[in-house]
Amino acid sequence: MLKISLMKFAIAAGLASSLVFSTWAAQSSSNPSSVGSVTVLVAGKDTQTFNESDLAKLPRSSITAAAHDEKPSLWEGVAISELLQRAGAPAGKQLRGREMTKFVRVTATDGYQVVFSLTELDAAFGDRKVLLVDRQDGHALSQKDGPLRLVVSGDERPARWVREVQTIEVVDGSFGPGRSSVHSEVGPGK
């Protein structure tokens, strides 16, 4: 009786682990970042997805920088401002008034998020280099860091160096207290 119960348990555990693995594999294969692509969202514009081939055709930049206690590396990729421009985000002289309240939220596959002001990423306002990189010291990124990673020049701490970047989104921050860009018609007195 004990052998049959143990055998049933082993079969059930095997089936459960197979189900978990196949679910994980399906999610990984459908996850844009796992195949080297990033989705860029700008309100009122068509969603843009850039895959490895698309990114390879865009103007490339590089940064020599180090994260934490690592030695400096040569990071290569595409400026995030280039991706935002191609997705229709306001830039240059368009950045004034309400447009100045917009910010960029970068999200990783594990849900980690960081933000930048839209003006912080625009060459007309400063010289901060923020790259979506796919190469480190001439090689594709490691599985731990890639396939796409954000590298930010000038940050003393690499807390905004997002690994496994999945989405880049322009968010309207111009809404007052009690309001958000998600619920633009909801708020006090509405």
Can you give the residue range of the structural domain that contains 15?
Answer: 1-30
Mean pLDDT, the chain, integer: 80
Share of the chain above pLDDT 70, in %: 73
The full DSSP string for the chain is -HHHHHHHHHHHHHHHHHHHHHHHHHHHHH-GGGGT-EEEEETTS--EEE-HHHHHHSPPEEEEE--TTSPPEEEEEEEHHHHHHHTT---GGG-SGGGGGEEEEEEETTS-EEEEETGGG-TTT----EEEEEEETTEEPPTTT-S-EEEETT-SSGGG--SSEEEEEEEE----TT--STTTT-STT-
Q: Is the pLDDT of residue 188 over 50?
A: no
Are 47 and 102 in a shared domain?
yes
Q: Is there a single domain that holds both residue 110 and residue 23?
A: no
| Cis? peptide before 147, omega within 30° of 0 | yes
User: Amino acid identity, residue 38?
Assistant: V
Residue 47 in any domain: the answer is: yes
Calpha distance 56→82 (Å, rounded): 13
Task: Please report where in the chains the tokens 């850039």 appear, as a residue.
Answer: 50
Confirm whether 130 is domain-assigned. yes
Q: Read off the amino acid at residue 67.
A: A
Supply the pLDDT for residue 11: 46
- Other Cβ atoms within 10 Å of 92 Cβ, number: 11
Q: Is the pLDDT of residue 179 over 70?
A: no
Shared-domain flag, residues 58 and 19: no
Q: How confident is the model at residue 35 (pLDDT cuts 50, 70, 90)?
A: low
In a domain, 190, yes or no: no
Give the span between the Cα atoms of 148 and 78, in whole angstroms.
Answer: 10
- Say whether both 74 and 138 belong to one domain: yes
Domain count, the chain: 2
| Residue 154 domain flag | yes
| Higher-scoring residue by pLDDT: 24, 134 | 134
pLDDT surpasses 60 at 53? yes
Q: What is the pLDDT of residue 157?
A: 87
Give the best-scoring range by mean pLDDT among 5-9, 31-35, 151-155: 151-155
165 found inside a domain:
yes
127 and 153 part of one domain:
yes
Instruction: Read off the pLDDT of residues 95-143 as tens digits, 9 standing for 90 and up.
Output: 888 888 899 999 999 999 999 999 999 988 887 899 999 999 999 999 8
Tokens of 103: 């910010």
Please give the pLDDT value at position 18.
38
The pLDDT value given to residue 68: 82
- Cβ contact 125:95 at 8 Å: yes
CATH number at residue 57: 3.90.420.10
pTM: 0.73
Instruction: Tell whether 70 and 125 lie within a shared domain.
Output: yes
pLDDT at residue 135, as a whole number: 95
123 and 47 in a single domain? The answer is yes
Q: Is the pLDDT of residue 13 over 60?
A: no
User: Is 184 part of a structural domain of the chain?
Assistant: no
pLDDT band at 156 (very low <50, low <70, confident <90, very high): confident
Q: Across residues 74-99, what is the average pLDDT?
A: 93
Does 65 have pLDDT greater than 80?
yes
Dist. CA 140–CA 147, nearest whole Å: 7
